[in-house]
Amino acid sequence: MGANELLAELAGIGSTPSGGYSRLAWDPATMQLREWFVGQASALGLEVTEDGNGNQVAWWGHGPDALLVGSHLDSVPDGGPLDGPLGVTSALAAVGQLKAEGWQPTRPIAVANFTDEEGARFGVACLGSRLATGAIATDHALGLKDAAGDTLAEVMAARGRDPRRAGPSAWLADVKYYVELHVEQGRWLAPHHAPVGVASAIWPHGRWRLDFCGQGNHAGATAMVDRYDPMLTYAATVLAARELALDSGHRATIGRVQVEPGSTNSIPSRVTAWLDARAESGPGLENLVAGLIERAQVAARDDGTTVEVRAESITGAVDFDPELRHRLAALLDAPVLPTGAGHDAGILAAKLPTAMLFVRNPTGISHAPQESASTDDIDAGVDALVRVVRELA
Ligand SMILES: [Zn+2]
Rounded to the nearest whole angstrom, what is the distance from the C-alpha of residue 54 to the centroid of ligand 1?
17
DSSP tag of 374: -
Rounded to the nearest whole angstrom, what is the distance from the C-alpha of residue 216 to the centroid of ligand 1?
39
The DSSP string of 178-216 is: EEEEEE-SSSSTTTTT-SEEEEEEE--EEEEEEEEE---
> Are residues 199 and 209 both part of a single domain?
no
| Cis peptide leading into residue 261 (ω within 30°) | yes
**Half-sphere exposure of residue 218, counting CA atoms within 13 Å on the CB side?**
4
pTM of the model: 0.86
No. of H helices and E strands in the chain? 11, 15
Across the chain, the runs of DSSP E, i.e. the strands, are 47-50, 56-60, 66-72, 109-114, 175-183, 196-202, 205-213, 217-218, 251-260, 266-267, 270-278, 306-315, 318-319, 336-339, 354-359
Strand partners of residue 97: none
Rounded to the nearest whole angstrom, what is the distance from the C-alpha of residue 281 to the centroid of ligand 1?
21
Rounded to the nearest whole angstrom, what is the distance from the C-alpha of residue 118 to the centroid of ligand 1?
7
> Are residues 274 and 369 both part of a single domain?
no
Rounded to the nearest whole angstrom, what is the distance from the C-alpha of residue 346 to the centroid of ligand 1?
11
Which own/partner contact pairs does 380-383 have at CB distance under 8 Å and 24+ positions apart? 380/195, 380/196, 381/3, 381/86, 381/90, 381/181, 381/195, 381/196, 381/357, 382/2, 382/3, 382/90, 382/93, 382/94, 382/97
Rounded to the nearest whole angstrom, what is the distance from the C-alpha of residue 145 to the centroid of ligand 1?
22
Cβ within 8 Å of residue 223, ≥6 positions away: none
Rounded to the nearest whole angstrom, what is the distance from the C-alpha of residue 58 to the centroid of ligand 1?
19
Digitized pLDDT (tens) for each residue of the chain, 393 residues in all: 999 999 999 999 999 999 999 999 999 999 999 999 999 999 999 999 999 999 999 999 999 999 999 999 999 999 999 999 999 999 999 999 999 999 999 999 999 999 999 999 999 999 999 999 999 999 999 999 999 999 999 999 999 999 999 999 999 999 999 999 999 999 999 999 999 999 999 899 999 999 999 999 999 999 999 999 999 999 999 999 999 999 999 999 999 999 999 999 999 999 999 999 999 899 999 999 999 999 999 999 999 999 999 999 898 888 899 999 999 999 999 999 988 888 999 999 999 999 999 999 999 999 999 999 999 999 999 999 999 999 999
**Half-sphere exposure of residue 165, counting CA atoms within 13 Å on the CB side?**
12
> Are residues 372 and 278 both part of a single domain?
no
| CA–CA dist 325, 340 (Å, integer) | 17
Residue after which a domain boundary falls, among 315, 331, 363 = 315
Rounded to the nearest whole angstrom, what is the distance from the C-alpha of residue 220 to the centroid of ligand 1?
46
> Are residues 267 and 383 both part of a single domain?
no
Rounded to the nearest whole angstrom, what is the distance from the C-alpha of residue 308 to the centroid of ligand 1?
30
Rounded to the nearest whole angstrom, what is the distance from the C-alpha of residue 340 to the centroid of ligand 1?
12
Rounded to the nearest whole angstrom, what is the distance from the C-alpha of residue 70 to the centroid of ligand 1?
11
Rounded to the nearest whole angstrom, what is the distance from the C-alpha of residue 74 to the centroid of ligand 1?
8
> Are residues 334 and 361 both part of a single domain?
yes
Rounded to the nearest whole angstrom, what is the distance from the C-alpha of residue 171 to the centroid of ligand 1?
22
Rounded to the nearest whole angstrom, what is the distance from the C-alpha of residue 367 to the centroid of ligand 1?
9
| CA–CA dist 96, 104 (Å, integer) | 12
CATH number at residue 171: 3.40.630.10
Domain count, the chain: 2
* Domain extent at residue 47: 3-203+317-392
Rounded to the nearest whole angstrom, what is the distance from the C-alpha of residue 247 to the centroid of ligand 1?
28
Rounded to the nearest whole angstrom, what is the distance from the C-alpha of residue 22 to the centroid of ligand 1?
13
| CA–CA dist 293, 225 (Å, integer) | 25
b/e map of 187-199 (b: 16 or more CB within 10 Å)?
Answer: ebbeeeebbbbbb
> Are residues 305 and 341 both part of a single domain?
no
Rounded to the nearest whole angstrom, what is the distance from the C-alpha of residue 72 to the centroid of ligand 1?
6
pLDDT value at residue 131:
98
| CA–CA dist 164, 344 (Å, integer) | 22
> Are residues 88 and 43 both part of a single domain?
yes
Strand partners of residue 174: none
> Are residues 18 and 159 both part of a single domain?
yes
Rounded to the nearest whole angstrom, what is the distance from the C-alpha of residue 7 to the centroid of ligand 1?
15
Rounded to the nearest whole angstrom, what is the distance from the C-alpha of residue 262 to the centroid of ligand 1?
32
